[in-house]
Amino acid sequence: MKKTTGTDRSITSNWRPATRAVRAGTWRSEQGETSEALFLTSGYTYDDAATVAARFAGEAEGMTYSRLQNPTVAMCEERIASLEGAEACRMQATGMAAMTTALLCQLSAGDHVVAGRAAFGSCRWLVDTLLPKFGIETTIVDARDNSAWEAAIRPNTKVFFFETPANPTMDIADLAFICGLARAHGITSVVDNAFATAALQRPMEFGADVVAYSATKLMDGQGRVLAGAVCGSAQWINDVLLPFQRNTGPNCSPFNAWVVMKGLETLDLRAQRQSENALQVARAIEGRVPTMLHPGLPSHPQHDLATRQMDNFGPIFSFVVDGRAQAHAILDALELVDISNNIGDSKSLMCHPASTTHANMGEEGRDAMGVFEGMLRINVGLEDPLDVIEDLDQALGKAGL
Ligand SMILES: *Cc1c(COP(=O)(O)O)cnc(C)c1O
């Protein structure tokens, strides 16, 4: 296979992001295909015994087994790293496989982790339930409160783990402050960037060490596959993440990586358009609902911070109505927008986090996080925003708003 200029960092790093999204990481076979090839293979064959021996010894380049390398997955990994401004990336089967791998590969019993309170439900489960089972101490802080991060540091603190914007409260964490604090204390910052993606926010520009993804969301963008990715320095990926990943096997399938790679070609277009659509929808209903949580609106308490660290605000926002019954009534009245807990999709989707994604936290945990009974989260898709606004208008009306 011919590695085209799309894999040469000295060339791709001069390309602007839109060009990298379409061309970075492209390897071409002797067929000269325009669309990257899908290698659905678990193993590889060799011309002679010396070739395979050299590859296993790490003395020659080349594939040996798809848990270790696969050409299609490698192409997508190069493209993601290029968009992120990261030296290296490895893909995993799901966003949660990515988060689990990013944490477990570097933690040992006796270490301490500080994590943001508002987070995807399963990310909180990792911190609250899984890590302590293996003797790893954890502290939860309000990610918006810079001094809380500082106060939580202990001599054995190894990792800061947080997402921004946070799911589903739309809390914004100060990337430059938190990642800078981590660096100053020799702590590794791990940022879950699923809500924004590199199209809208690049945490490494603010000093993040590791950026982890659910590629299921805006990267695929059409609700087709589950996938995850972890980006970091070449040294961290090779020395810390890879030994864990190769031996535990949370790998992404070549088919899913191929779908994500094709999704990346339109990521910027979709992220920008869906951001604009979401802002238009949020503005249209802001006066109708008791509380609006959209970081792009001046009413959001961290609007200035969001403006400083994001290029645009993404397809997702939340709002709070009067309790679960009214929230469910709105969902049940929708005619165009689907009831669905997925996000990042080109279809507009709405969900009630308290009874779905954050149900297993219990009401007390949800209240502490700011996931109220009347909260609804919407992912605004690529439909004409006027149709989405009309649908919300009639649904809010039927629910008495
Ligand atoms: C969806 C999501 C995850 C988990 O990703 P999966 O691909 O569903 O495993 C993790 N973090 C955030 C912020 C998410 O939105």
Q: Is the CB of 220 under 6 A from ligand 1?
A: no
DSSP H/E element including 101: helix 95-104
Let me know: does 8 contact 52? Beta carbons within 8 Å: no
Let me know: does 25 contact 261? Beta carbons within 8 Å: yes
Domain ranges of the chain: 86-253, 267-398
Q: Is the CB of 94 under 6 A from ligand 1?
A: yes
What is the pLDDT, as a whole number, of residue 2? 72
Q: Is the CB of 194 under 6 A from ligand 1?
A: yes
Class of domain 86-253: alpha beta
* Residue 377 backbone phi and psi in degrees, to 5: -115, 130
Helix (H), strand (E) counts: the chain: 17, 14
Pairing of strands 112-116, 157-163: parallel
What pLDDT digit, counting tens, does each position of 359-375 carry?
988 899 899 999 999 99
Q: In the predicted model, what is the mean pLDDT of residues 209-229?
A: 97
Name, in order, each residue with C-beta under 8 angstroms of 98's C-beta and a sequence gap of 6 or more: 91, 92, 212, 213, 214, 215, 228, 229, 230, 250
In this structure, the dihedral spanned by the alpha carbons of residues 251, 210, 162 and 316, taken in order and rounded to 10 degrees, is -70
* CA 283–ligand 1 middle distance (angstroms): 27
Q: State if pTM tops 0.85.
A: yes
What is the pLDDT, as a whole number, of residue 349? 98
For the chain, the distance separating the N- and C-terminal CA atoms, rounded to the nearest angstrom, is: 60
Listed residue (294, 123, 255) closest to 194, CA to CA: 123
Q: How far apart are CA 110 and CA 128, in angstroms?
A: 15
Instruction: Give the closest residue (by CA) to ligand 1 atom 4.
Output: 95
Residue given tokens 């899984």 in the structure block: 130
DSSP string spanning 350-394?
Answer: EE-GGGTTTGGGHHHHHHHHT--TTEEEEE--SS-HHHHHHHHHH
What is the pLDDT, as a whole number, of residue 269? 96
| Confidence check: pLDDT of 74 > 80 | yes
**HSE-up of residue 323 (Cα within 13 Å, Cβ side):** 2
Q: Which SS3 state, helix, strand or coil, does residue 160 take?
A: strand
Quick one: which atom of ligand 1 is closest to the CA of 98?
A: 9
What is the pLDDT, as a whole number, of residue 8? 82
Pairing of strands 2-3, 27-28: antiparallel
Instruction: Give the closest residue (by CA) to ligand 1 atom 8.
Output: 95
| Confidence category of residue 285, pLDDT binned at 50, 70, 90 | very high
Pairing of strands 291-293, 27-28: unpaired
Cis amide leading into 168 (omega within 30): yes
Quick one: which atom of ligand 1 is closest to the CA of 163?
A: 13
Q: How far apart are CA 230 and CA 9, in angstroms?
A: 19
**HSE-up of residue 363 (Cα within 13 Å, Cβ side):** 4
Quick one: which atom of ligand 1 is closest to the CA of 119?
A: 13
What is the pLDDT, as a whole number, of residue 9? 80
Q: In the predicted model, what is the mean pLDDT of residues 20-28?
A: 93
Q: How far apart are CA 214 and CA 193, in angstroms?
A: 8
| Confidence category of residue 272, pLDDT binned at 50, 70, 90 | very high
Q: Is the CB of 120 under 6 A from ligand 1?
A: yes
| Confidence check: pLDDT of 1 > 80 | no
Q: Is the CB of 171 under 6 A from ligand 1?
A: no
Class of domain 267-398: alpha beta
DSSP H/E element including 21: helix 17-23
Whether 86-253 and 267-398 share one fold: the answer is no
Strands across the sheet containing 188-192: 88-92, 228-232, 210-214, 188-192, 157-163, 112-116, 137-141
* CA 397–ligand 1 middle distance (angstroms): 32
| Confidence check: pLDDT of 382 > 80 | yes
| Confidence category of residue 215, pLDDT binned at 50, 70, 90 | very high
Q: Helix 385-398 vs helix 323-333: angle between axes, to the nearest 10 degrees?
A: 130
Burial letters 161-171, b for 16+ CB under 10 A, else e: bbbbbbbbbbb
